[in-house]
Amino acid sequence: MPQVHAYAAQSATSPLASFTIDRRDPGPGDVALDILHCGVCHSDLHTARNEWQNTLYPSVPGHEIVGRVTAVGAQVTRFKVGDLVGVGCMVDSCQHCAPCAEGLEQYCDNGFTATYNGPVFGGGPNTFGGYSTHIVVRESFVLRISHPADQLAAVAPLLCAGITTYSPLRQWDVGPGHRVGIVGLGGLGHMGVKIAAAMGAYVVLFTTSAGKREDALRLGAKEVVVSKNTDEMAAQANQLDFILNTVAAPHDLDPFIASLKVDGTMTLVGAPATPHPSPGVFGLIFRRRRLAGSLIGGIAETQEMLDFCAQHAIVSDIEVIGMDHIETAYARMVKGDVKYRFVVDMATMG
């Protein structure tokens, strides 16, 4: 069993630090890869700090993985040594329940195996993610990358931030003629703006940071609303067909619900550690509005998203960091100071 260099949190209060993990030898259906880059998702921070109170320590976060195939098992047909590939938030699922049969592995009735912090089917208690130099993954959970090779680092965030925004935009049929709100301009939000705009929607970006206005317009938003400004919020009343809310902290949902048209939906993908204040019922019942949720996306849909982004020349806006800067990156993420995704260069692991 090869030993692999990683970065791990040992407790909710200890900073991430160098650590050694065991990876399995590739089995007949497995793909082994050298990890070249790994994106830094706010979920990594929620997990490392045990904010969701479910963290298994030691914790090696990272589920926006891109790398190069180093070995394939005898039964692997879709990948060969040298291919550039991606691994997202899941590395396995039961493959026989109704959601898995529909390509909705993220809603597996038996619980998918998360890339990190997940119990392993028939195996150990914990999985270790992409803050490491090497990983072994079942072929069916490995994604093809068709972007130019020099964009690889900026493709990494598509594996979570990309699919988490693409999937609900597709599920709610966003396209030309739709006015779509994206709430929060962070890692997920900036991908949501790019993807919704590429789908042909008229995008309205809601932010708490007035300084992000120009960036939002450059990324594809047609309007920017500073959500702390009640006049700007009031001007959006009853305007939007769909809202994707990516905010990582609890906040009042009612002003956003008020922006929806009749039958409009706001889908929550942001996963704060503590609940949002409960929305008022009148905002929902008076215009038959809906509040929904969405979790990442299935494997086939993740491939569809990667291909869509390659066709539309969409990548993430990134700031590449060394692994030893991860705590600084987390601190900036807490302040909303991310433009718009940190990506770790694994060569810095030594």
What is d(CA 38, CA 320) in angstroms, rounded to the nearest whole number?
10
Q: Is residue 105 within 8 Å of 298, Cβ to Cβ?
A: yes
Question: Cα 259 vs. chain centroid, distance in angstroms?
Answer: 25
Nearest approach in angstroms of CB 148 to ligand NAP is: 25
Query: b/e string for 258-285 if b means 16 or more Cβ within 10 A?
Result: bbbbeebbbbbbbbbeeebeebeeebbe
State the DSSP H helix or E strand holding residue 189, giving kind and residue range, or none if neither.
helix 187-198
Site string for ligand NAP, 121-160 (x = CB under 6 A): ---------------------------------------x
Looking at the Cβ atoms of 171 and 208, the one nearer to ligand NAP is 208
4 lines the binding site for ligand NAP (CB under 6 A) = no
Task: Phi first, then psi: give them for residue 13, nearest 5 degrees.
Answer: -110, -5
Q: Which stretch binds ligand NAP (CB under 6 A): 68-76, 91-99, 180-188, 315-323?
A: 180-188
Supply the minimum distance, in Å, between the C-beta of residue 241 and ligand NAP.
Answer: 20
Q: Contact letters (x/-) for ligand NAP, 18-37, by CB under 6 A?
A: --------------------
Nearer to ligand NAP, 26 or 187 (CB): 187
Phi and psi, residue 333, nearest 5°: -65, -40
Sign of the four-CA dihedral 61, 65, 68, 69: positive
Least Å from the CB of residue 187 to Zn ion:
8
Q: Could you say which of Zn ion, ligand NAP, none residue 208 binds, taking C-beta under 5 to 8 angstroms by partner kind?
A: ligand NAP
Nearer to Zn ion, 41 or 309 (CB): 41
Contacts of ligand NAP in 37-76 (CB under 6 A): 41-43, 46
- Closest separation in Å from C-beta 74 to ligand NAP: 34
CA 77 to chain centre: 27
Compute the Cα dihedral for 263, 266, 267, 273 and give only its sign.
Answer: negative
Asked whether position 43 contacts Zn ion by CB under 5 A, the answer is yes
Using CB under 6 A as the binding rule, whether residue 196 contacts ligand NAP is answered as: no
Q: Which residues contact 67 (CB under 8 A, 6 or more apart)?
A: 33, 34, 35, 36, 37, 84, 85, 86, 87, 135, 346
Using left for φ > 0, alpha for ψ between -120 and 50, and beta otherwise, residue 244 falls in beta
Give the residue, chosen from 12, 97, 295, 320, that forms a contact with ligand NAP under the rule CB under 6 A. 295
Residue 117 lies near ligand NAP (rule: CB under 6 A): no
Would you tell me how many other CB atoms lie within 10 Å of the CB of residue 49? 17
The answer to whether residue 305 forms part of the interface with Zn ion (CB under 5 A) is no
Which residues in this chain contact Zn ion in the complex, by CB under 5 A? 41, 43, 160
Which residues in this chain contact ligand NAP in the complex, by CB under 6 A? 41-43, 46, 160-161, 164, 184-189, 207-209, 212, 246-249, 269-272, 294-296, 333, 336, 338
